[in-house]
Amino acid sequence: MAKINSKNSKADTIKSVEFESSLGNRVENIAPYALFGDVRGDFDGKKVQTLEPGKYSVKVTAYNQKGGAGKVLAASSVKFTVSGLTQQSVNAANDLGMVSGQKAPSLPKSYEKSETSAESQIIKGTDGDDKMIGVQPERNLPGKGEQDTLLGRQGADTFILGDRNGTFYDDGNINTPGENDFAKILDFSPVVEGDIIQLHGQASDYSLEVFSQGSTQQVKIFAEGAGGKELIGKIKNAGELAPELALESSAFKFV
């Protein structure tokens, strides 16, 4: 399905590819389209998913719009078996924080385009434990220009606003507060459901600000830098949780 495939007459019209697999789901908006992503086309340069021995399946669907939307141009499925671990897979962990022996994430199965921009998405989780991510971590300044909406639904969900390589939704401009790119978390429930927000670095790198919008309490998440605060996330409908939320609590994970 990549443009280098001369036999695929529809390659130039592909704008996104959705991967649905027993390893978790993913939508790629930029070629080359890969199940675990890439670093500017370098598959070896990106941390890979640890694969335990077993049987796996992958369904790939190409669309003519970004975000897994629009007309289906092509679809294909493949099944494969991993009979043993390579040294590379033993030592590697993917950018979602997976390690050997953990359950593969149940990633969102529903993707819709947000009206904010061509890159923004509405990501909906399942009733299981989901890892919610709206950006492509391999990109330079992942999340720049995006206003992604993350709806985890039930289960202990992890809302990922950063990985080991850096903070997401930072526009890279120290002269602006970054109000145009952030993740909106709609149903954060750390006490009842065990939800977590994953951030890069440490607690001292961030600050929280409680504000009211109408009758609801909400929380803004800022990355603190040399140029001041950079908005990277909003926890919507925080309610009574808002004034009690602390970066040092178990509601936040730092990598």
> How far is the C-alpha of 255 from the C-alpha of 253, rounded, in Å?
7
Contact 148, 184 (CB under 8 A): yes
- With cut-offs at 50, 70 and 90, classify the pLDDT of residue 161: very high
In this predicted model, which residue has the larger pLDDT, 107 or 251? Answer: 251
Residue 211 CB coordination number (10 Å): 12
In this predicted model, which residue has the larger pLDDT, 33 or 165? Answer: 165
* Chain length of the chain: 255
- With cut-offs at 50, 70 and 90, classify the pLDDT of residue 36: confident
Supply the pLDDT for residue 203: 95
186 has a pLDDT exceeding 60: yes
**Closest by alpha carbon to 152, among 122, 112, 113, 115?**
122
Q: Of 20-29, 30-39, 60-69, which gets the smallest average pLDDT?
A: 30-39
- With cut-offs at 50, 70 and 90, classify the pLDDT of residue 63: confident
Q: Of 43-52, 82-91, 170-179, 184-193, which gets the smallest average pLDDT?
A: 82-91
- With cut-offs at 50, 70 and 90, classify the pLDDT of residue 15: confident
In this predicted model, which residue has the larger pLDDT, 85 or 232? Answer: 232
Supply the pLDDT for residue 12: 75
137 has a pLDDT exceeding 50: yes
Q: Dig out the tokens for 15 from the structure.
A: 């704008």
18 has a pLDDT exceeding 90: no
| Helix, strand, coil share (%) of the chain residues, nearest 5 | 5, 40, 55
- With cut-offs at 50, 70 and 90, classify the pLDDT of residue 27: confident
| Average pLDDT of the residues of the chain | 76
Strands of 131-132's sheet in order across: 131-132, 158-160, 196-199, 252-254
> How far is the C-alpha of 239 from the C-alpha of 53, rounded, in Å?
44
| Mean pLDDT value of segment 200-207 | 95
Supply the pLDDT for residue 43: 56
Percent of the chain with pLDDT over 90: 25
Greatest mean pLDDT range, 86-90, 228-232, 236-240: 228-232
> How far is the C-alpha of 237 from the C-alpha of 169, rounded, in Å?
21
Domains of the chain: which residue ranges?
A: 1-100, 106-255
105 has a pLDDT exceeding 70: no
**Max alpha carbon distance in the chain (Å)?**
58
